[in-house]
Amino acid sequence: MKFPRNARILRSQLDAAPFASVFFVLLLFLMLCGLVATPGLPLRLPEAGGPPLTGVDKPTVAVAVDAFGNYYFDGLIRDPIDLRARLHEAVEKSAEPLTLIVQADKAVPYGQVVALELLARDAGIRHVHEALLPRPFDTGNAPTRR
């Protein structure tokens, strides 16, 4: 059986209106997505130079400290007494020793970070790591070519 060929090559000019409408819909979508706030705490972590640091293979708990000195644990602001109790509960529930990850903003004084580490030690956490951002394009340790 022979089928007739009805396909013809388009020889007229393309209409720009459908392309323009798709472009403006995409533009509107991207603009509206830019206005939506991302959830989470806006922290500016300090940058670290040198080789990348390794992760932790033990169970961890994270405490964030914002620029105003507020402690955040489990997504809520905690005062130091409540934070110590929550960390102690986490230590009791864990079968392995916990490691505290401190996510401190750049503007937080070092004394407050040390106070948080001492508070964690009182709760039973012995290992503390600070969250750092890798420095982009860090050339300090890169081998040089001659």
pLDDT of residue 146: 46
pLDDT in tens, 67-99: 998 999 988 999 999 999 999 999 999 999 999
The model's pTM:
0.67
The domain locations on the chain are 47-134
- Which secondary structure element, helix H or strand E, spans residue 22, and what is its range? helix 16-35
Task: Please choose, from the candidates 48, 69, 74, the residue with its C-alpha nearest in 3D space to the C-alpha of residue 116.
Answer: 69
| Banded pLDDT at 138 (limits 50, 70, 90) | low
Domain 47-134 has CATH 3.30.420.270: yes
Whether 50 and 138 have beta carbons less than 8 Å apart is answered as: yes
